[in-house]
């Protein structure tokens, strides 16, 4: 719905058609409720309480102090005019009335302000989390790009400076290294762009029902292009399972987790890629029989970017990179949950769930 926003210098007033309709709706509902009680002779002191509840809901579902405060003024006038004898007549001089409605107005204002402040604090917390994610990504990019770029520069320099001395076999080997490092950089940039895309859309993704079987097949095919000999086994439900998702993003999550198993699992003889239905969720898991996750890293491996200081992975070139940061962001944007744990028999498991039905 098209919105019109008007902001004061303090930034507190934000007027939109959506918030205006919410305000009108709750005030109208409160009025109808009080009229129904009045018809049964039960209005009495209930009207102020009903309108305070309406103001609380308005403050909860709108985005500015303005709507709660405006509703407070309307509520005081409406209770006086419609639900206080003499009816349909503004009269603020009744015995005890000024104090009663001063209290009501004050409570309404306080409720409105507190509710709005809580929402603003939540917004600030979300912004802080986003800034932390950006900082993590910046650190991740520096880690994941520095080594392959150094390797590419070194290999190209060796070929350029010694082309007349190098054998054809050695030249092809160096060029092969350049190709491999360039492909890694492409994957790093793809991951970075995916997270940037999610952040740009305010952590929202476009979801369509997708058959899980096809998603797994695409992810495995993509993974096999880089690791053709990877020992991977897939399991999925017998019945066709459709899950709302952004197919490309979930494929990227699966590829990242599969690569993580190969690159950080040590000696891995088998990787299990499994999907099962669990209530109203589809649960995806990537399990390996490798060395597992170090105890000091396990509790925080998905809460921040983790890097292995002064160590390299199995191929001697890569650290953990931004893969897990990307997975966390994508699954969260889908309304799902991701976790990691070690298997009793050895190895690690990364597991995430996605809602089967749109929330």
Provide the token pair at 357.
Answer: 């039905």
Its domain, for residue 52, covers 17-125
358 part of a folded domain: yes
Q: Is the dihedral of CA 331, 351, 213, 227 positive or negative?
A: positive
27 part of a folded domain: yes
Cα radius of gyration rounded to whole Å, the chain: 30
User: Backbone phi, then psi, for 358, in 5-degree steps?
Assistant: -65, 135
Pick the last residue of a domain from 71, 90, 125. Answer: 125
Q: In the chain, how many domains are there? A: 2
The structure's pTM equals: 0.55
Partners of 211 in the β-ladder: 242
Shared-domain flag, residues 239 and 97:
no
Shared-domain flag, residues 357 and 209:
yes
Shared-domain flag, residues 342 and 223:
yes
Please report, in tens digits, the pLDDT of each residue of the chain (359 residues total): 444 444 444 444 556 788 889 889 999 998 888 888 776 655 556 787 888 788 878 877 887 777 877 887 788 788 777 877 777 777 766 665 666 667 666 766 777 677 777 877 887 887 787 677 666 666 656 666 777 788 889 889 988 888 888 888 888 988 988 988 887 777 777 766 766 666 544 456 778 999 999 999 999 988 888 888 888 999 988 888 999 998 888 988 898 899 888 888 778 889 999 999 998 999 999 999 988 888 888 877 776 544 333 334 434 444 444 578 778 888 888 889 999 999 988 899 999 999 998 65
145 part of a folded domain: no
Shared-domain flag, residues 227 and 318:
yes
- Continuous segment of H or E residues that includes residue 30: helix 17-39
The SS3 assignment for 341 reads: strand
Pick the last residue of a domain from 125, 148, 163. Answer: 125
Q: Can you tell me which residue has the tokens 């898991």?
A: 285
Shared-domain flag, residues 209 and 318:
yes
138 part of a folded domain: no
Distance of CA 178 to the CA centre of its chain: 35
Cα–Cα distance measured from residue 232 to residue 258, given in angstroms and rounded to the nearest whole number: 9
In contact, 336 and 342? CB cutoff 8 Å:
no
In contact, 63 and 6? CB cutoff 8 Å:
no
Shared-domain flag, residues 99 and 213:
no
Pick the last residue of a domain from 73, 90, 125. Answer: 125
85 part of a folded domain: yes
CATH code at position 260: 3.30.565.10
Shared-domain flag, residues 354 and 231:
yes
Shared-domain flag, residues 105 and 220:
no
């Amino acid at each position: 719905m098209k919105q019109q926003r008007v902001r004061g210098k303090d930034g507190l007033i934000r007027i939109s058609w959506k918030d205006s309709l919410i305000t009108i709706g709750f005030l109208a509902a409160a009025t109808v409720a009080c009229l129904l009680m009045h018809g049964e002779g039960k209005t009495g002191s209930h009207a102020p309480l009903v309108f305070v509840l309406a103001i609380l809901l308005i403050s909860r579902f709108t985005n500015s102090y303005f709507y709660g405060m405006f509703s407070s003024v309307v509520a005081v006038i409406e209770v006086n005019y419609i639900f206080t004898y003499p009816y349909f007549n503004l009269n603020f001089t009744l015995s005890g009335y000024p104090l009663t409605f001063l209290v009501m107005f004050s409570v309404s204002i306080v409720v409105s302000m507190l509710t709005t402040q809580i929402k603003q604090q939540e917004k600030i917390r979300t912004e802080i989390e986003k800034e932390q994610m950006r900082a993590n990504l910046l650190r991740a990019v520096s880690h994941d790009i520095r080594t392959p770029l150094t390797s590419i520069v070194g290999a190209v320099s060796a070929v350029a400076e010694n082309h007349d001395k190098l054998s054809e076999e050695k030249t092809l080997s160096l060029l092969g290294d350049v190709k491999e490092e360039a492909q890694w950089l492409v994957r790093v940039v793809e991951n970075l762009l995916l997270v940037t895309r999610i952040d740009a859309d305010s952590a929202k993704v476009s979801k369509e029902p997708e058959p899980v079987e096809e998603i797994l097949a695409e992810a495995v095919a993509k993974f096999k292009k880089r690791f053709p000999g990877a020992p991977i086994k897939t399991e999925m439900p017998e019945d066709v399972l459709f899950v709302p998702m952004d197919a490309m993003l979930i494929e990227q999550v699966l590829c990242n987790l599969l690569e993580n198993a190969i690159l950080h699992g040590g000696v891995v003889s088998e990787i299990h890629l499994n999907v099962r239905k669990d209530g109203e969720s589809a649960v995806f898991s990537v399990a390996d029989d490798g060395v597992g996750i170090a105890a000091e890293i396990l509790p925080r491996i998905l809460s921040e970017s983790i890097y292995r200081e002064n160590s390299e992975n199995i191929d001697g070139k890569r650290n953990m990179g931004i893969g897990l940061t990307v997975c966390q962001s994508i699954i969260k944007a889908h309304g799902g949950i991701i976790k990691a744990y070690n298997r009793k028999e050895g190895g690690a498991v990364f597991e995430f769930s996605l809602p089967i039905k749109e929330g």
